[in-house]
Amino acid sequence: MQAIRIPDEQWGKVWRTLVAAGPLSCIGPPPIYLVSDRQLRLLRRKKLPFEIVPLPDGRKAGRNHA
């Protein structure tokens, strides 16, 4: 999992693409989204804007084994 920030001006288009590709979680404020590697590849392939940000509050990337 990666944390990303979506620019306000393209939020709707990016959001629809992410939701169609699978589940995501919002951790924030400010709104930061946890997305899968598959979703990141899709955003890059479609050349949609996003910014990878560090995970806040000591969260670690990887799978949740809970």
Average pLDDT of adjacent 10-residue blocks, the chain of 66 residues: 91 92 87 93 95 75 50
In a domain, 49, yes or no: yes
End-to-end CA gap in the chain: 15
- Reading the block at residue 34, the tokens are 């946890």
Confidence at residue 30, expressed as pLDDT on a 0 to 100 scale: 84
Confidence at residue 58, expressed as pLDDT on a 0 to 100 scale: 59
Confidence at residue 56, expressed as pLDDT on a 0 to 100 scale: 63
Confidence at residue 45, expressed as pLDDT on a 0 to 100 scale: 95
Confidence at residue 29, expressed as pLDDT on a 0 to 100 scale: 83
In a domain, 62, yes or no: no
In a domain, 25, yes or no: yes
| Domain ranges, residue 9 | 2-53
Q: How far is residue 63's CA from residue 66's CA, in Å, rounded to a whole number?
A: 9
In a domain, 43, yes or no: yes
In a domain, 40, yes or no: yes
In a domain, 41, yes or no: yes
In a domain, 11, yes or no: yes
In a domain, 10, yes or no: yes
Domain count, the chain: 1
